[in-house]
Amino acid sequence: MKQKATLIGRLFVGFGGYNRFMDDNSDKKAKLAKALAVAKGLYQLGAYVGPRVAQMALFDHRGSSWASYRASFDGHLFKNRNDFPALKDRETLTFVSGVNTLKAYLYFPKHPRALVVAAHGFTSLADGNDALYQDYLLRAGYAVLAVDLTASGASQGSSIGGMYQSAYDLKACLDMVHANRKLKHLPLLLIGHSWGAYGVTAVLNFDTSPKAVVAMSGYSSPGRLMVSQARGKAGLLADLSKPDLDDALKERSGEKGFLSAASGINHAKKTSVLLIQGGLDETVPVKNCSLYGDPEVKNPRVERLYYPEKHHDDIWFDPASCAYIASFHKAEDDLKAKYKSLSKVPPEVLAACYSLMDKEQSSKIDQTMFQRIDAFFQAAL
């Protein structure tokens, strides 16, 4: 009887231990559920706030000015408009885009073959290192109209607006060209880099008058570029957050933020388009968001040039210059890593670095590429 009582006691003790085990597990499950709920809330908060803060940081300021460009690392490294005698004489034209008055600079030879409208990249300006190919085209016999986009160079604007803005600026610019007695009868050609490359192709959604367009390192749409940039920071989480990214973009830009350069190219059925891309481009990666690699481009009049060893910002430079540029951009990265930002580098250290730069070596144009571009333009005229 004593043994039976002991056995029953053990069973009760066992059941008690089981209950305590179940209670412990329940506590753990509750804590886990609470932790997951907190994590989900933080993720949702980050997904909402992150893209909006990022857009404010990227766009709610001026893109460039002549003073800021001259003081920048690239301003010391590359030739600019002042280094090209052929670009000394020009006429300044103005036009309105949105609420801002923008400036464009007309270089006009005696007997121009056509008018080339040139659009610079994000945070650059018309008088920066784009002057290298403006000079080439002018000496090749083209009139060149170099545009300072919104909040860039000498154009008005306290905010860049967004990655779509270049297309709307160029629409306003082309409206001005069509109304200008001196320019409206000239065949129209477009060329642009990065932000400008998107602009010169996306503007074809509104204006199909250009005979030919050259887009260097262009992205296919602001939306795809935004996801690509987020992917570079957060990996696959960026793809999971795409609905949040799209919502943030639409909230800020409306449908403008989703304007497709591919749709513009396809719409302009009589316009020849040359897409140029570097294989080492990390800003506009070939597979993620480049116009060059966009499968939605269906226009049979599209041609492509691919340079496996070129980056985003050296696309129109001679290979020897590309290597020289890369060496100084490596030095720039090293300085940023050591001092946390370029603004914190001691002035004497920066001055020593700048003193080693040779603009003759950094600023050689890719003659083969631009001979191809010239032939491409000529074939379209």
Element holding 305 (H helix, E strand): strand 302-307
Of residues 220 and 28, which shows the higher confidence score?
220
Phi, psi of 82 (to 5 degrees): -65, -15
Sign of the dihedral through C-alpha 326, 152, 197, 377: negative
Q: For the ranges 14-18, 35-39, 99-103, 107-111, which has the lowest average pLDDT? A: 14-18
Q: For the ranges 34-48, 153-167, 176-190, which has the lowest average pLDDT? A: 34-48
Residues 6+ positions from 124 with CB-CB distance below 8 Å:
63, 64, 69, 130, 152, 193, 194, 195
C-alpha span between 148 and 146 (Å, rounded): 7
Percent of the chain with pLDDT over 90: 72
pLDDT at 161: 86
Q: For the ranges 43-52, 160-169, 310-319, which has the lowest average pLDDT? A: 43-52
Tokens 């296919």 belong to 220
Confidence of residue 253 (pLDDT cuts 50, 70, 90): confident
pLDDT at 348: 96
Mean pLDDT score, 124-137: 98
Q: What single string gives the DSSP state of each residue in 209-224?
A: --SEEEEES-BS-HHH
pLDDT at 8: 46
Q: For the ranges 44-58, 155-169, 326-340, which has the lowest average pLDDT? A: 44-58
Q: How many CB atoms lie within 10 A of CB 316?
A: 25
pLDDT at 124 exceeding the cut of 80 = yes
pLDDT at 246 exceeding the cut of 90 = no
Residue 177 CA: distances (Å) to CA of 74, 81, 189, 315: 31, 23, 12, 28
Domains of the chain (ranges; CATH) run: 65-220+259-380 (3.40.50.1820), 222-253 (no CATH)
Mean pLDDT score, 319-331: 96
Residues 84/131, Cβ–Cβ less than 8 Å: yes
Q: What confidence tens digit (pLDDT) does each residue in 151-176 have?
A: 999 999 999 888 999 999 999 999 99
Confidence of residue 50 (pLDDT cuts 50, 70, 90): low
pLDDT at 358: 98
Three-state secondary structure of 131-198 = HHHHHHHHHCCCEEEEEECCCCCCCCCCCCCCCCHHHHHHHHHHHHHHHCCCCCCCCEEEEEECHHHH
Q: For the ranges 40-49, 121-130, 154-163, which has the lowest average pLDDT? A: 40-49
Q: Quote the tokens at residue 241.
A: 């957050």
Q: How many CB atoms lie within 10 A of CB 340?
A: 10
pLDDT at 188 exceeding the cut of 60 = yes
C-alpha span between 58 and 109 (Å, rounded): 38
